[in-house]
Structure 1
Amino acid sequence: MRFASDNTSGAAPEVMAALVQANDGYDRSYGADAAMARVTDLVRGIFEAPDAVVHLVATGTAANALAIATHCPPWGAVFCHTHAHVAEDECNAPEFYSGAKLVLVPGDRGKMTPATLATALSQIGADGVHGVQRGMLSLTNVTEAGTVYTPAEIAALTARAKAHNLPCHLDGARFANALVATGATPAEMTWKAGIDVLSLGGTKNGCLGVEGVVLFNPDKAWELELRRKRGGHLFSKHRYLSAQMVAYLTDGLWLRLAAQANSMGQRLADGLRNRQAMVPEAHANMLFPEWDRGRHDRLEAAGAVYNRYPAPEGRERARLVASWSTTEADVDRFLAAF
């Protein structure tokens, strides 16, 4: 009954098998491995983007920070949600790598709106040389509140940014979960909706540790490659990153893993609602239910592991995250203990 994070699950057997195979013999280093060429082919096909370029790193923080640094100058503002991962959970890495300023945009349940973004855009860049300039937009899907942007919602936001000639980034640490939740294609969720660069998550969804930075504008590829090396994120034994991503993207594995996580998240949400818990709308694998006092102690005594969240007086709240390896038995045991 482990619902603390999808980071806490193991790696999928297909990914582990690919790593074992990559460990046999020799291959070229620093991204020149044969598997990396396969990664590029897979990404271009899956995203319907024949000119896309992908670079691999080991962490989501590196992917986000490098993507932002490559697209925003140090005098620019990065418009992101108040509770975006880049704002609250990356120890200022985006600012460190880019020198840029994060401008926090409000919005209910993890999602900014065209109106809140328009207000933020109107307040930046009006002071000439003395003030921070508009730099770029960064969105997160699935959001930190467990909600999901549709492609239409992303397009409405990027249109506001594009009106100021700003590039747009999507933090897709749970990108596969967002695709499964909406039924969108990778292209519809990204470049067709105005996204210029994607942080393509793997670690939270069955990989041992790999993330991709997908550039839909290849003109930025060399700069990102240089920043990756300068920032210490270019693996010498790069084939171990490539092997994971090849296995992840082959034959729809990444979507099947996300579908399992989402399905278990919805089973958990439905079960809690049936037991009079308050569960805000959540379409993917992460939810924030609220219930009467006393449940935390009971659940944890039964072996449940999750994160407690602040709640109103007399109530309790939690963050529950299902993973690719969560089973129906895991969910049902949690509900029985509840």
Structure 2
Amino acid sequence: MSKQAQFLSDNAASVHPAVWDAMRAADDADAPYDGDAQSAALNEKFGALFGRECEVLWVATGTAANCLALASMVQPHGAVVCHEEAHIEMDEGGAPGFYLHGAKLLLADGKSAKLTPGDIRAVIDPIRDDVHQVQPHAISITQASEYGCVYQPEDIAAIAGLAKERGLALHMDGARFANAAAFLDRPAGEVAGDVDALSFGFVKNGGMTAEAIVFFDSQMADVARYRRKRAGHLQSKGRYLAAQLHAMLDGDIWLNNARAANAAAQEVAGACAERLMHPVQANELFVRCTAQEREALRAQDFAFYDWGDDAARFVTAWNTQEADARALSAAISGL
């Protein structure tokens, strides 16, 4: 086992060598902002991946990707329906309210941080259609969810159907989209479904400082371009961000990295049995264990986060060492 086995977060993982190589190659001078050749080629590259036309904007963080996408869908007097454990609600420091100029988040409940049409209707059906109540403008779902669980294509199709029926836009937080794709073993277009826009996460999966906002609605993309500049996310040397995205897509590095992270999670899951709070379908494990048991694991040099008073969260990454995953599995078995 390495000196400290790192299971805190896939954000702590190292950068894939192909990304470093691509950034060095981008040192050749090119047009500033998003006028460079690599930025211009992103639409075609992602269009081939998803099997339909799209427009792609790079940004530096997942928070910006989510919020700029939602800001292109939602007016300040509107609202976004999301799960009560959604990242935009729990972990983005109020950024949705900032980027959306005060638009509201309407919180829904759902098993394993996933939503169903019924969960969404329970929130939006009681809302009166008048100016005295905030009206929903969009739905946001997370693939894979905040508890590491994956929407099947038919699940997303049902939510997309409801969105169209109610005239709502559909956004996907894809911070761990690659892990969902690896689990489903389906084309990216099927893993995303009929969404209007998604954030495609790279930083958690071996990237460095680049995330993608993928728009399947060109009008939303046009709005987001202005909002990206206004928000301070139009970087002057954008070619370095575009280069990272190309590097991860070339040779399916994005998918192979996710497969490695998922496989490490499954190695650990095999030792958890009834301790698991949610199915392990991506690279996160939520494991019931007492404070004393967590102390015992940390004494063996495993790094992870507590999850409330009686559980722990373990996250594997693209570069999790097989020996570390096996060691954690053995340590959990020995509790």
Shorter-chain TM-score above 0.5: yes
2:267 and 2:329 in contact (8 A); partners too: no
Q: Deviations over 1:131-159 (max 9, x none)?
A: 11121000011111111111111111121
2:79 and 2:104 in contact (8 A); partners too: yes
2:149 and 2:278 in contact (8 A); partners too: no
Shift of 1:279: 5.0
Among 108, 115, 127, the alignment partner of 1:112 is 115
1:221-232 equivalences under 5 Å are 221-232=221-232
1:54 and 1:214 in contact (8 A); partners too: yes
Partner of 1:220: 220
Among 311, 316, 323, the alignment partner of 1:317 is 311
- Residues 165 and 297 of structure 1, relative CA distance in 2, 3 Å threshold: same
Shift of 1:41: 1.8
2:51 aligned with 1:48: yes
1:77 and 1:136 in contact (8 A); partners too: yes
Q: Deviations over 1:43-76 (max 9, x none)?
A: 01111113x1000000000001100000111111
Shift of 1:120: 1.0
Q: Deviations over 1:159-212 (max 9, x none)?
A: 11211111100000000111111122111122xx32000111110000001111
1:81 and 1:105 in contact (8 A); partners too: yes
Taking the aligned partners of 1:270 and 1:9, their CA distance within structure 2 comes to 23
2:9 aligned with 1:5: yes
1:87-236 equivalences under 5 Å are 87-99=89-101, 100-124=103-127, 126-190=128-192, 193-236=193-236
Taking the aligned partners of 1:322 and 1:226, their CA distance within structure 2 comes to 36
User: Secondary structure of the equivalent of 2:46?
Assistant: helix
Cα RMSD, aligned residues only:
1.4
Match for 2:19: what amino acid? Answer: V
Taking the aligned partners of 2:90 and 2:308, their CA distance within structure 1 comes to 17
User: Secondary structure of the equivalent of 1:212?
Assistant: strand
User: Secondary structure of the equivalent of 1:294?
Assistant: helix
Flag structure 2 segments of 5+ consecutive residues without an equivalent.
Answer: none
User: Secondary structure of the equivalent of 2:233?
Assistant: coil
2:76 aligned with 1:82: no
Taking the aligned partners of 1:272 and 1:329, their CA distance within structure 2 comes to 17
Taking the aligned partners of 1:213 and 1:30, their CA distance within structure 2 comes to 16
Match for 2:295: what amino acid? Answer: D
Among 285, 305, 324, the alignment partner of 2:303 is 305
Partner of 2:284: 286
1:278 and 1:291 in contact (8 A); partners too: no
Q: Deviations over 1:241-270 (max 9, x none)?
A: 011000011111100000000111111101
Shift of 1:109: 1.3
Shift of 1:127: 4.5
Q: Normalising to structure 2: TM-score of the pair?
A: 0.94
- Residues 129 and 280 of structure 1, relative CA distance in 2, 3 Å threshold: closer
Taking the aligned partners of 2:130 and 2:278, their CA distance within structure 1 comes to 43
Shift of 1:295: 1.9
Q: Deviations over 1:56-114 (max 9, x none)?
A: 00000000110000011111110000000011111111111113110001112101221
Shift of 1:271: 2.5
Aligned residues: 327
1:269 and 1:279 in contact (8 A); partners too: no
Taking the aligned partners of 1:291 and 1:90, their CA distance within structure 2 comes to 27
Shift of 1:129: 1.4
Taking the aligned partners of 1:26 and 1:225, their CA distance within structure 2 comes to 23
1:15 and 1:207 in contact (8 A); partners too: yes
Q: Normalising to structure 1: TM-score of the pair?
A: 0.93
User: Secondary structure of the equivalent of 1:11?
Assistant: coil
Taking the aligned partners of 2:330 and 2:108, their CA distance within structure 1 comes to 40
